[in-house]
A and B are shown apart, each in its own frame.
Chain A
Amino acid sequence: MPAETPVIEMRHVDKHYGALHVLQDINLSVDKGEVVVLIGPSGSGKSTLCRTINRLETIDSGEILIEGEPLPQEGKELAKMRAEIGMVFQSFNLFAHKTILDNVTLGPREVLKTPKDVAEQEAMRLLARVGVEAQAHKVPAQLSGGQQQRVAIARSLAMHPKAMLFDEPTSALDPEMINEVLEVMVELAREGMTMVVVTHEMNFARRVSNRVIFMADGQIVEEGTPDEFFDHPKSLRAKDFLDSIRGH
């Protein structure tokens, strides 16, 4: 099979916060249909890495390519690129003044210029798919965290993204709601969505991902298949990290 252009590629990416070197020479490529999970202790830079991919965080040096094209730095081109990459946040970030339905249709209508009725039909279909169609006419504050996060996923899907970024999507959820969100993500992965997932859910990483990337102190310390990583971690840092989460 000929090598396809990776959907996301990072080359020698560096970023500092003042004196803190939060991303150090990051090289990473994510192929079409691949599910890559980023794990690591807090402060390791995994969230920052995820957020640089659609330029919610800027980088100091290096390159980020989306389907071989450099990530635009500003303006309409950047907005267009962002529309093609879905993003799901830890704190859902639904638009508080809009109904669930309007949250999902806003992007298609404003960015893709989809006619209202088409956008709404599709939004209802997506809401049904993530199981919150009954809440379509409520506002975000009336929904549980799990429901809000599923709406946020539907909002991203409505843009027909090439890839989706998940920045700790279950970290702000009560334990009983984590699974309902993970199930939607598992489903997406099965359908072949290209995904970059920052998470602490090791079972998800093991079951669903094609590759696990372990980060610490702004560096990619280790990467491999989930079985390799979880059963035979190579680095001491990774072993310590896995011990610490298994200890609990």
Chain B
Amino acid sequence: MGYSELFATYGEKYLQAIFETLSMTAVCFAIAMVLSVLITVMRVSPIKPLRIVGDLYVQVFRNIPGVALLIIVAYALPYLKIMLPWKACVEVAVVLLASAFGSENFMTGINAIGVGQIEAARSIGLTFTQTMTKIVIPQALRSAVLPMTNLLIATMLTTALGSQVPLNPQELTGLVSFITTRETAIGILPFTVSAVAYAGFSVLLGLAGNAIDKRVRVIR
């Protein structure tokens, strides 16, 4: 089988798979960003129990292997009467993982600001809210652009977890396993298509992130 035949037979499935991968990536990343902000707020708050829960959340989800988390969400939760559709299982797992790393990125961004600027903001009479909205958050967001770009790419790669549960339509990795299992003489063709798609999107996202970073980076 050559590329033309592969595309004739599976072209539509590939387009669907690309759409699945990209849309899951977008949805998961968006939700993960919101969650990261919430978790980070908890972690920097002066409320001890919230801090502990936030820290624990990050330690659990940055250290658990994605596959183990997916298996728990997809196969263990139903025993606890929590039943999610397959796709939602993948998305929950990806969001939990990505939000832990997202919060770490925000923390790093906050740490980079330094105590001095916050004291300076206080001493010209800014209130806590003004210090946060005028000094801390803008700088944390700007310095998070590059790490978050990397996280976005990592999120896309993590959606490959979708290959471990029956999705319909499938995403890029699951489709490869589907095609290769059916066409026993197809060789490496399906892999190269998916791999090029992943690597291509990674490079594109990276370039976009770099371009944004160049415009907003805080020079120190």
Contacts and interface: CB of A to CB of B under 8 A. Distances in A.
Note whether A and B contact each other (Cβ less than 8 A): yes
Interface residues of A, number: 32
A139 B218 CA distance: 9
B139 A97 contact: yes
Contacts of B134: 106, 110
A75 B121 CA distance: 14
A80 B219 contact: no
Interface string B54-94: 00000000000000000000000000000000000000000
A106 B117 CA distance: 13
A216 interface: no
Contacts of B124: 82-83, 87, 106-107, 111, 155-156, 159
A107 B135 CA distance: 12
- Main secondary structure, interface of B, reads helix
Interface residues of B, number: 22
Contacts, number: 77
B130 A110 contact: yes
Given A89-B116, A110-B130, A97 B218 contact: yes
Given A79-B127, A107-B125, A110-B130, A95 B220 contact: no
Given A56-B123, A82-B122, A111-B126, A93 B219 contact: no
A142 B219 contact: yes
10 contacts: A56-B122, A80-B125, A82-B123, A82-B125, A85-B123, A87-B124, A93-B120, A97-B139, A97-B142, A139-B218
- Per CB-CB distance, the 9 closest pairs between chain A and chain B, nearest first, are A83-B125, A93-B116, A107-B124, A87-B123, A93-B120, A141-B219, A111-B125, A97-B218, A82-B125
Interface of A: 54, 56, 75-76, 79-87, 89, 91-97, 106-107, 110-111, 139, 141-142, 152, 155-156, 159
